[in-house]
């Protein structure tokens, strides 16, 4: 009896000792589960935020651009000043979204590259200014004195004419070896982001904008229409070049997008079409539209980057097209 009693005491003691351990163990499992649920919740919130940002990036940019145009006409603001301010805003806006929703984190610009791209932006603006000066010089001789078309029709025609002229010059820049020596400087970088959209040869910028706007002279497009189209072109030109994870879906069939322009920068020339950055009409008509859902380039840049100076060597890039090919 004494042994049985002692055995029961031992069993009771062991049971009592095991109970706290089991309890603490169950608390640990519960805590781990709680941590997992919290992490899953945070991950879900992050994913939802990213999806929201991806969805709102392009429509919000359009809303801001429309507001800028409305304010300019309503308060009679200076067209040139608004254009410059909008340019800087678009770059800053898309640079922010490149940090929030990057397509490829390895494509993000370094501080050194931002300084370089700032210098190229000045060069690009100079090229644009020179082309406008040339356009106005020709317009003073041949352009009608007063526009004869409604503003809405002028804007549509201006978009189509500028898009066509830009398409022609851009495609020739890829197909003609001498023009490629100018334009290839833009493609030498092995990444695509909003900053290096400005990495261009000044004469490449001048030629494309001059050819793009030249037809407008002969139909007498008003300054109001040119202003609206310039805002549109700035928006599209930098948007398609941005390193952002934004997908336009079926809109890709009608308007330029980062998805298409990454293909344009592809090392594989078989998919490097998409010479339009605004409307896709001319790519469709001339057989250079290759995008389909989910299609991505394996690599961007050029197959033999040694044929061009590095973008950091701005002076060498300037004189490169005029040197005898090796």
Residues sharing a CB contact under 8 Å with residue 184, sequence separation 6 or more, in sequence order:
302, 307, 308
178-232 residue pLDDT tens: 999 999 999 999 999 999 999 999 999 999 999 998 888 777 788 888 899 999 9
The reported pTM is 0.86
Computed over every residue of the chain, the mean pLDDT equals 88
249: left (phi over 0), alpha (psi -120 to 50) or beta: left
The more confident residue out of 239 and 305 is 239
What is the C-alpha to C-alpha distance for residues 314 and 120, in angstroms, rounded to an integer?
8
CA angle 169, 234, 194 (to 5 degrees): 95
Residues sharing a CB contact under 8 Å with residue 37, sequence separation 6 or more, in sequence order:
none
Which residues does residue 244 pair with via DSSP β-bridges, in sequence order? Answer: 102
CB 217 within 8 A of CB 139: yes
Domain segments of the chain: what residues? Answer: 1-54, 78-322
Q: How many other C-beta atoms lie within 10 A of the C-beta of residue 284?
A: 13
Residues sharing a CB contact under 8 Å with residue 94, sequence separation 6 or more, in sequence order:
61, 194, 238, 239, 242, 244
What is the C-alpha to C-alpha distance for residues 313 and 299, in angstroms, rounded to an integer?
23
137, two tokens: 């010089």
pLDDT of residue 138: 79
pLDDT at residue 16 is higher than 50: no
- Mean per-residue pLDDT for 274-292? 97
What is the C-alpha to C-alpha distance for residues 107 and 105, in angstroms, rounded to an integer?
5
Q: Angle 79-100/2-74 helices, nearest 10 degrees? A: 170
pLDDT at residue 296 is higher than 80: yes
CB 299 within 8 A of CB 267: yes
pLDDT at residue 15 is higher than 70: no
129-172 residue pLDDT tens: 888 888 877 777 776 767 778 989 999 999 999 999 999 999 99
What is the C-alpha to C-alpha distance for residues 311 and 241, in angstroms, rounded to an integer?
17
pLDDT of residue 34: 64
pLDDT of residue 114: 97
CB 170 within 8 A of CB 274: no
Question: Counting beta carbons within 10 angstroms of the beta carbon of residue 287, is it exposed (0 to 12), middle (13 to 18) or buried (19 or more)?
Answer: exposed
Task: Give the model's confidence band at 31: pLDDT under 50 very low, under 70 low, under 90 confident, else very high.
Answer: low
């Amino acid at each position: 009896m004494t042994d049985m009693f002692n055995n029961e005491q031992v069993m009771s003691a062991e049971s009592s000792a095991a109970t706290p351990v089991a309890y603490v163990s169950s608390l640990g499992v519960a805590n781990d589960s709680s941590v997992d649920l919290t992490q899953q919740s945070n991950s879900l919130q992050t994913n939802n935020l990213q999806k929201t940002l991806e969805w709102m990036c392009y429509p919000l940019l359009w809303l801001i651009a429309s507001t800028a145009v409305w304010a300019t006409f309503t308060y009679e603001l200076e067209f040139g000043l608004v254009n410059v301010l909008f340019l800087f805003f678009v770059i800053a806006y898309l640079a922010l979204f490149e940090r929030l929703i990057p397509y490829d984190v390895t494509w993000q610009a370094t501080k050194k590259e931002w300084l370089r791209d700032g210098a190229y932006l000045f060069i690009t603006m100079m090229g644009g200014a020179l082309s406008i000066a040339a356009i106005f010089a020709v317009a003073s001789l041949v352009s009608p004195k007063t526009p004869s078309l409604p503003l809405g029709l002028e804007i549509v025609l201006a978009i189509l004419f500028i898009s066509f002229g830009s398409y022609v010059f851009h495609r020739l820049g890829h197909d003609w070896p001498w023009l490629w020596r100018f334009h290839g400087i833009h493609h030498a970088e092995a990444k695509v982001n909003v900053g290096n959209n400005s990495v261009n040869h000044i004469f490449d910028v001048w030629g494309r904008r001059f050819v793009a706007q030249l037809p407008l002279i002969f139909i007498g497009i008003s300054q109001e229409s040119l202003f609206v189209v310039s805002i549109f072109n700035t928006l599209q030109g930098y948007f398609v070049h941005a390193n952002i994870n934004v997908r336009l879906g079926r809109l890709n069939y009608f308007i330029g997008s980062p998805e298409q322009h990454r293909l344009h920068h592809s090392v594989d020339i078989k998919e490097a079409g998409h010479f339009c950055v605004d409307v896709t009409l001319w790519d469709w008509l001339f057989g250079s539209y290759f995008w389909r859902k989910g299609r991505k380039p394996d690599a961007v840049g050029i197959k033999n980057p040694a044929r061009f100076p590095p973008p950091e060597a701005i002076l060498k890039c300037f004189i490169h097209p005029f040197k005898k090919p090796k």
